[in-house]
Structure 1
Amino acid sequence: MGVLDGKAAIVTGSARGIGRATASLLAEHGARVLINDLDGDLAKQASAEIDGETASFGGDLTQEGTPEAVVQKAIDEFGQLDIIVNNAGYAWDGVVHKMGDEQFRAMLEIHTVVPFKVLRAAAPHLRDAGKADREAGREIFRKVVNVTSISGTQGNFGQANYSAAKAGLVGLTKTLAREWGAFKVNVNAVAFGFVETRMTADLPKQMRDVAPQIIPLGRPAQPEEAAGVIFLLCTPWSNFVHGQVITASGGQMTGMT
């Protein structure tokens, strides 16, 4: 038996990196998982390669109607929704005095607005389902995990847009925890530091070389290690962890300056 048997999950941005590792781990422990990516073919490929019951959904979550469609796809495939991991995102770095409006707003859209829209669309299956359980005398926990960053909790040089968007996701997390806690929907976030992904592979060599010096554990995390933190917040072992931002940075207390 898996700890997540009978559960259904959406992991956005899950064809690669942290999202892929998270989807794989959830499926390994019994969850049915909807794999999402901007590239529909990559989403299908990941779905086929991950052991367990999965489905796929390709689409740009920043486009009108797509966040609602990904939720509906999960309901159509699995008949229920118990776990949402808002992981999709990317970086578009630049210093403030040279940053245009489009560049700033793009980060807000993918890292703050998209999770809001996904969660709003999921409300009938999380909040309302929990309300029905409460009225029937049942206590069933459902889970939301938002992927943020230490850039959002302490800022980072050249990432005003990304940091602001990830900080906004922290605010969304804490507010939703207050609104949905009564219905046994745990809402938490994980603030990652340097994780070896496609996004961090594009960092300048100077930044990559300094990582062992600023991370007390001496190296960046692997996606599988990042996924473990998210997984914990999706399990019954975290039922009394609520409204929290868990920092998973190997002890790093500064940005990648």
Structure 2
Amino acid sequence: MAADRLSLVTGHLTSTFPAGLLADQTAIITGAGQGIGAATALLFAKEGARVVVADLDETKAREVAAAITAAGGKAVAVAGDIMLQATIDAVVNAAVQLGEGKIHHIVNNAGFTWDGVIHKTTDKQWDMIMDLHTKAPFRLVRAAAPYFRVKDGEPRSITNVSSTSGIHGNAGQANYATAKMGILGLTKTIAKEWGPSFGVRCNAVAFGSVTTRLTAEKESGAFAEVGGEKIALGIPKAQQRGAEGFAMVPLRRAGTANEAAMSILMLASPLSAYVSGHCLEVTGGAGI
């Protein structure tokens, strides 16, 4: 177990999982091997959900699933590139098996950035980020449609992870900002299509600065490897925010992965039973 990766989100766990807000419900969480995704998987499990931990990194996915099962929860890890249909099919099939024929929640969290100023951004950079943040969530939702377009009276929700970059734009992130705005359109469309007849709620959460590998120092060497391409992650040290960099954030700090995950749990839970088609900005107050 890589305790350093999970310690920030497991400290609140007890030896057993209570019935919880998501008792006996099944959830798919993509990008759940670390960061916000791992925190979300653990919180969902603590609230009684059966969790499919989907991630590109098999080792990390298995570690999160093992942490859940060790605490008395139910989880299964599925590794693979979520941009591939084969991975999407494997994730949905695993959820159906884990949930005994039912899926209740999807959290489209998987993602990373591949930044570049507009005049230097390549087609490959553009296409990969668009595929990862818009096409992959769409294809996962489409594949899971038979388990959401049902009338059994049980709760169904989809939560898409967006970003303040998608709302306001961000220099050096033309691809990412466009994709994260695109997921908001998908969110509202799902809410309008699947809400009336099936009661499916679909919301988005737009994070501001949250401490993850995407906001860590780029010099630390974190990278994502997709299709043989190594993509450096993080923000160059020279561009990192100091304490003064949070002057426009009323809470004067970055959020934690667990705080980000709690907002996702809130949107998926009965606490948000009459919330749909909404984008929740989780920013520490930035932008008000």
Which structure has more RCO (C-alpha within 8 Å, separation ≥ 6)? 1
Q: What's the secondary structure of 2:134's corresponding residue? A: helix
Partner of 2:200: 185
Q: How many residue pairs are counted as aligned between the two chains?
A: 246
What do the CA deviations read for 1:115-165 (whole angstroms, capped 9, x no partner)?
A: 0000000100012x2xx33xxxxx332110000000001100100000001
In the alignment, structure 1 residue 116 sits paired with structure 2 residue 138: yes
Q: Which residue of 2 aligns with 1:207?
A: 240
Q: Distance in 2 between matches of 1:178 and 1:65?
A: 28
CA distance in 1, matches of 2:189, 2:246: 35
Runs of 4 or more, structure 1, over 4 Å off, are none
**Percentage identity across paired residues of the two chains:** 46
Task: Tell me the equivalent position of 1:136.
Answer: none
Quote how far apart the aligned CAs of 1:76 are: 1.8
CA positional deviation for 1:208:
2.1
Q: Aligned partners of 1:211 and 1:180: how far apart in 2?
A: 41
2:278 corresponds, among 219, 244, 254, to: 244
CA distance in 1, matches of 2:81, 2:272: 31
Q: What is the CA–CA distance in structure 1 between the aligned matches of 2:22 and 2:103, rounded to whole Å?
A: 12
Amino acid at match of 1:106: M
State the AA in 2 paired with 1:157. Answer: A
TM-score by length of 1: 0.92
Greater helix fraction, Structure 1 or Structure 2: 1
CA shift, 1:252, in A, is: 1.4
- Checking the alignment, whether the CA contact within 8 Å between 1:96 and 1:158 is kept in structure 2 is yes
Structure 1 partner of 2:261: 227
Measured after TM superposition, the shift of residue 211 of structure 1 is: 3.3
Q: Is the 8 A contact 1:68 1:117 kept in 2?
A: no
**Mapped partners of 2:253, 2:109: distance in 1:** 22
Q: Which of 77, 85, 104 is the aligned partner of 2:107? A: 85
Task: Structure 2: give runs of 5+ residues left out of the alignment.
Answer: 1-18, 217-233
Contact 1:186–1:241 (Cα < 8 Å) also in 2: yes
| CA–CA distance in structure 1, aligned partners of residues 195 and 162 of structure 2 | 20
* TM-score normalised by L of structure 2: 0.83
**3-state SS of the aligned residue for 2:210?**
coil
Equivalent residue for 2:6? none
Match of 1:151 among 165, 170, 173: 165
Contact kept in structure 1, 2:50 and 2:98, CA below 8 Å: no
Deviates more, 1:5-14 or 1:60-69: 60-69
Taking the aligned partners of 2:245 and 2:155, their CA distance within structure 1 comes to 38
Say what the alpha-carbon RMSD is for the aligned residues.
1.3
Q: 1:97 aligns with which of 115, 119, 131?
A: 119
CA distance in 2, matches of 1:117, 1:237: 28
Task: Report the alpha carbon displacement of residue 65 of structure 1 after superposing the two structures with TM.
Answer: 2.5
One-letter amino acid of the structure 2 residue matched with residue 13 of structure 1: G
- For residues 36-83 of structure 1, the C-alpha deviation after alignment (integer angstroms, 9 at most, x for no partner) is 110112211111012311111000011233212211111122221001
> 2:32, 2:54 within 8 Å by CA — same for their partners in 1?
yes
> Do the aligned partners of 1:111 and 1:169 also contact (CA within 8 Å) in 2?
yes
